[in-house]
A and B are shown apart, each in its own frame.
Chain A
Amino acid sequence: MQIFLIILGIVALVMILMYNSLIGKKNQVDNIFAGVDTVLKKRYDLIPNLVASVERYMEHEKGVLENVTALRAQAMKPNLSDDQKIALDTKLSAALGAITVAIENYPELKANENVMHLQRSLSEIEEQISAARRAYNQAVTDLNNAIEMFPTNLIAGWMNLQRRAVFEITIAERQNVNVHELFNR
């Protein structure tokens, strides 16, 4: 009888520990996503300014600019799920990249102090976003691992925890990884 009670106690303790660690991981993901959200908002705030100052020059890239404005409007909507925000961010990054490339073709824009200032702010925020994305991806990977691995997957199923999506790492971020090193290990 006593042995049975001891075993029961140990099992309960392990269950509690696993439950708490899962909750901790889930909260860490939410917590870091709040940080991601903050830097993403910083970028949204810059977009109208950027569009307004390059519009007059960029006759041929009207479509790109409209696309960016539309994406921003979508991203600013309330009640978006995390996954939707992530998907929009990927599209917006690509569209902004297109504008940056286009600016290179306009010497007037490159000489414009206001535009240059905006571009540099954007690239600085871009670095912060990249850091936030990487932190989020790590937290999500931790959570997803716990959801799928034995024995935490049993409790996760009972708690109804869902896998989360990670941010795609953009090509520019990947470039920093030393490919040569990876192949020579």
Chain B
Amino acid sequence: MKSLSELTDFYYKELYPYLEELEKTRNHILSQLKWYGGIGTVFFLIIALWMGKNFGLFHPLMIAVAVGFLLIASIAYRYLIQGYAKDFKNHIITPLIGAIDSHLLYNPDFMISQYLFERSNLFQHSIDRYSGNDYVKGSIDGVPIEFSDIHAEYQTRDSKGRTQWHSLFRGLFLVAEFNKNFKSKTIILPDQAEKTFGNLIGGWLQSINIARGKVIQLDDPVFEKKFVVYGEDPIEARYILSHSMMMRIVEFQKKISHPLFISFVQNHIHIAIGTGKDLFEPTVFKSLLDYKQAMEYIHTLRNTIGIIEELKLNEKLWSKE
């Protein structure tokens, strides 16, 4: 895999002609947005003033108009950046992924299957809406890997019968083959209970989580502080989570600063990183040539693909070779 500086070079040298062109489009879109935004705001203010005089400022109709304006604005925004986003993914993200490793395929509109997401057992709620994009699939050092942006939601009805949507998970989801064979399920979740309620009560709360199964107490204090592990087989869980593996997971968590969920099911590792946003989307309000912005794309991609090396999934047991 290429180093960070090589990739930065690649971004600014090889991709420069496209970046320049996209920058022009971006500036054009930006001025369009300002123009339409200005007109929209004036229009809205006039209507608001008129309605405020006739119905009062906090009339329900007023709220409906405001929501309507926001809806139109967001649709218009999406429509305006549609082509730009597509060009960005085709001409910037695609070659960037190719530069990181030529064995990877990229499809901006596809996502990891819902089956794999549910197989991970990481999020137990039923899913009512499942979407995603930016799908990457291939192999790194002979380890099959796939990942994409995922947004999984469920809906509830309140007492008045209105439906509400809730995010179950939003972020990056990755599946890779694990380098050891195992039969049972092992699930690692961020340790919320122990963080909020302390060791004693938190530990007790975890142990009575019936839906999750048995808590597995591990012998790495740093790891135990950050994560809680549920598993069906205490021996197999420790076979997967060797001392060095626990240390690597802790190191990895330090790097990403988002909630990290990991599960081991059917000889595969499933990793969910709750970034809370859609990754690999082009910036509109910042320049594409901006160093910080460029580094964000490169970092995210490199760190994600680097998970294989980071967790040493490429060091296979000979019986799996």
Q: Give A residues with C-beta under 8 Å from B.
A: 32, 35-36, 120, 124, 127-128, 130-132, 134-135, 137-139, 142, 173, 176-178, 181, 185
Contacts and interface: CB of A to CB of B under 8 A. Distances in A.
The 5 closest A-B pairs by CB, nearest first: A176-B243, A131-B239, A131-B238, A135-B234, A135-B235
Contacts of A178: 247
A22 B149 CA distance: 47
A116 to B, nearest CB: 9
A104 B236 CA distance: 31
A185 B317 CA distance: 33
A139 B216 CA distance: 10
A32 B239 contact: no
Interface in B8-57: none
Q: Which size class do B's interface residues fall under?
A: 10 to 19
A27 B234 CA distance: 14
A124 B236 contact: no
B242 A138 contact: no
A130 B234 contact: no
B219 A131 contact: no
Given A124-B318, A134-B238, 18 more contacts: A32-B235, A36-B235, A124-B317, A128-B239, A130-B238, A131-B237, A131-B239, A132-B235, A132-B239, A135-B238, A137-B219, A142-B217, A173-B243, A176-B242, A176-B244, A176-B247, A177-B220, A177-B247
B219 A35 contact: no
A132 B238 CA distance: 7
B250 to A, nearest CB: 9
Interface in B226-262: 234-239, 242-244, 247
Interface of B: 217-220, 222, 234-239, 242-244, 247, 317-319
A134 B238 CA distance: 7
B239 A127 contact: yes
Nearest to B244: A176
A138 B219 contact: yes
B244 A139 contact: no
A120 B321 CA distance: 12
Given A139-B234, A177-B220, A131 B318 contact: no
Nearest to B247: A178
Given A32-B234, A32-B235, A138-B219, A130 B242 contact: yes
Contacts of B242: 127, 130-131, 176
7 contacts: A127-B242, A130-B238, A131-B236, A132-B235, A142-B217, A181-B222, A181-B247
Nearest to A142: B217
Contacts of A130: 238, 242
Contacts of A120: 318
Contacts of A32: 234-235
Given A120-B318, A124-B318, A138-B217, A177 B243 contact: yes
A110 to B, nearest CB: 15
Contacts of A185: 222
A32 B236 CA distance: 11
B73 to A, nearest CB: 50
B302 to A, nearest CB: 24
Nearest to A178: B247
Given A124-B317, A127-B242, A176-B244, A134 B236 contact: no
A131 B19 CA distance: 51
B244 A124 contact: no
A63 B297 CA distance: 61
A56 B235 CA distance: 37
Nearest to A181: B222
Contacts of B243: 173, 176-177
B318 to A, nearest CB: 5
Contacts of B220: 177
